[in-house]
Amino acid sequence: MSEHHDLLAVALGTAAAAADHIRSRARPLPDAWHLKGHSDFVTQVDLETEALIADRLRQAVPGSIVLGEELTPDATTADLVWVVDPLDGTTNFLHGYPAYAVSIGAVVEDEPTVGVVVDVARSITYHAIRGGGAWCEGRQLTVSATSEPASALIGTGFPFKVVQLLPTYLRQFSTILQRTAGVRRGGAASLDFADIAQGRFDGFWELHLAPWDVAAGTVLVREAGGVVTDMEGNGGVLRHGPYVAGNPAIHAWLLDVLRT
């Protein structure tokens, strides 16, 4: 556990430095946006921040691997893998919409062990360590106690990178919207998971996410008493695909609905 606290300290310091760097940079003009895929942008700010994070993590823990979209997106095998999103919610950042984050997760021997998410625009830091709870600014986080879907607020993400999933997603959206108190889409999965951990959202689903979208947030949710799985109920996070999260009751309900 002491080693894990050391990893947490590294992740906290690195995420704070990365958030400061993002705040120091002006929003790029549209002619500086690079389109990687459908509605999927990357900018010099993303690249600079990821390089900053990777350098600090590798210096702090020599031999560790940094898994990130722009650096080593396929490197997943090591005793310690840092799974990072330097700017989760790039499109929000580019438009000045205040929902973007730095996300750093540490996966130790295939187990999500440390998670840090910094809400950059609001200067709020969330962190969790396996077996040590989930926290925000000294306040311990707990998932909601909502068990009735009709009272539940559900987070989601659109499959904007994989538009062929839209028909499936829209069917799911229609069903869930009609059976719950509401559905919200913020555009930064790490912050959605933070909202589950602190009981703002009762559940969440998205059909296409990457490890760097969810690694840190998974530790937050699980340490706050919640559940994170794929659509089949499996708990691994170093993969691409669908994710379902929430408090235990709403997570189970979402799985049942999404499988039909």
- pLDDT, one tens digit per residue, over 137-149 is 999 999 999 999 9
Under 8 Å between Cβ of 155 and 249: no
Q: What is the pTM of this model?
A: 0.93
Q: What is the pLDDT of residue 29?
A: 67
Q: What is the pLDDT of residues 96-136, one digit of tens each?
A: 999 999 999 999 998 999 999 999 999 999 999 999 999 99
- Non-local (6+) Cβ contacts of 153 within 8 A are 180, 181, 182, 183, 184, 200, 201, 202
- Whether 66 has a pLDDT exceeding 50, the answer reads yes
Check: CB of residue 225 under 8 Å from CB of residue 142: yes
Distance CA 50, CA 149 (A): 38
- Mean pLDDT taken over the chain: 92
Residue 94 vs residues 64, 82, 97, 138, 255: alpha-carbon distances, Å? 31, 26, 8, 31, 34
225 backbone φψ class: left, alpha, beta (φ>0; ψ -120 to 50): left
Domains of the chain, CATH where assigned: 2-140 (3.30.540.10), 149-259 (3.40.190.80)
